[in-house]
Amino acid sequence: MELMKRPKAVFWDIDGTLITTESLHYEVIRDWCAGHGYTLTEEANDELLGKTMPEKWAILQGRLPAGLTEENFRADCARAYMEGLRAEMMRPGPVAAVKRLHELGVLQAAVSNGEAPVIEANLRVLGLWELMVFTVCGNDVANGKPAPDPYLEAARRAGFAPQECMAVEDSIVGVTSAARGGLVTLAWPEAVPGAPVDLPGATLTLLDDADFPWAVFEA
């Protein structure tokens, strides 16, 4: 599918797109739940994938003992997650693309369902914090991904129409959010040998780091 001439802004998802942290998210919440009497299995964790922390709490609350608070859940998990972050979790291709786009003068921002401190920690460990003009977190909008709200808010802050902006995502939740918002949607899933890639709604799906549409930006 033909892309626009040159996006005026590029918005990056973080988890799974810039950094591979799905297992860390699971381990943090699993351990927190275990410390409060609930065993979170990998199968049960599937229900939490891609959700904001308030959405995760809404799912877990009924399975946990009475008296626990969302505030403590979010603070404890954020602290444990940030302690577990490592630079080697980065996805080299997307991280390199952020740096090259910065050199080309493209406005960039991070758009995530995560908490603001966690977003900052991720970007700092990747060396990308200073390259993002702003961030949109799950608490900044009424509805997180897959609703279009996060990307519509990013376009508003950037001062451009949604169709003038590109979103880079790795999951169906994120692709759906960006596509519903009317953005040019670049799907860049992590390559898993033998695994099918099915991200409907994407303008373009990258199967290799070398497939990034640099010609659009360098024309």
The answer to whether the beta carbons of residues 163 and 179 sit under 8 Å apart is no
- What would the mean pLDDT of 135-144 be, rounded to a whole number? 94
Q: Provide the mean pLDDT of the chain.
A: 93
- What would the mean pLDDT of 201-212 be, rounded to a whole number? 93
| Residue 194 scores a pLDDT above 70 | no
Choice among 19-33, 159-173, 179-193 with the minimum mean pLDDT:
179-193
- What would the mean pLDDT of 147-172 be, rounded to a whole number? 97
- Note the pLDDT of residue 1: 45
Cα–Cα distance between 12 and 133 in angstroms, integer? 11
Distances (CA, A) of 36 to 61, 63, 65, 68, 69: 11, 10, 7, 9, 12
| Residue 195 scores a pLDDT above 70 | no
DSSP string, 166-203: EEEESSHHHHHHHHHTT-EEEE-PPP-TT-----TT-S
| Residue 4 scores a pLDDT above 70 | no
Residues above pLDDT 90, as percent of the chain = 85
Cα–Cα distance between 42 and 28 in angstroms, integer? 12
- Note the pLDDT of residue 118: 94
Domains of the chain: 9-21+88-218 (3.40.50.1000), 22-84 (1.10.150)
**197: confidence class by pLDDT, cuts 50, 70, 90:** confident
- Note the pLDDT of residue 3: 54
How does pLDDT run across 76-116, given as a tens digit for each residue? 999 999 999 999 999 999 999 999 999 999 999 999 999 89
| Residue 120 scores a pLDDT above 80 | yes
**51: confidence class by pLDDT, cuts 50, 70, 90:** confident
What letter does residue 135 receive in the DSSP assignment? Answer: E
Residue 103, Cβ neighbours under 10 Å: how many? 8
- Note the pLDDT of residue 191: 75
Would you mind telling me the total number of residues written for the chain in this entry? 219
What letter does residue 15 receive in the DSSP assignment? Answer: B
- What would the mean pLDDT of 176-204 be, rounded to a whole number? 87
- Note the pLDDT of residue 188: 96
